[in-house]
Amino acid sequence: MKTTYTITQAQQQFPAMVRESASVGMIPITRHQETVAYVVSKVRMDAIVETMELLSQPETMAQIRAYERGELNFHSVDALDDED
């Protein structure tokens, strides 16, 4: 399994490269040993989009920062049954 393709290799082996990206998530494409593009699997792209959506929500980011500061209390899911 290759981890990086040159542009020429990518042109010649595109179907195999797409299949490989599904298992590894992302494959760099290089020109003169410099990465110039990526082939990204759907699963990886979905994760990137979801992360960007979360990062764009101020309320969500405030909660993440509160968690990082140790200011949030977590309860077991089992505790939901005790709220009757």
Share of the chain above pLDDT 90, in %: 80
- Mean pLDDT, to the nearest integer, of 52-79? 91
- Mean pLDDT, to the nearest integer, of 12-27? 92
pLDDT for residue 51 is more than 70:
yes
- Mean pLDDT, to the nearest integer, of 13-40? 94
What is the chain's Cα-based Rg? 21
Domain residue ranges of the chain, discontinuous segments joined by +: 5-40, 41-72
pLDDT for residue 81 is more than 80:
no
Give dist(CA 30, CA 8) in Å, integer: 9
Model confidence pTM above 0.95: no
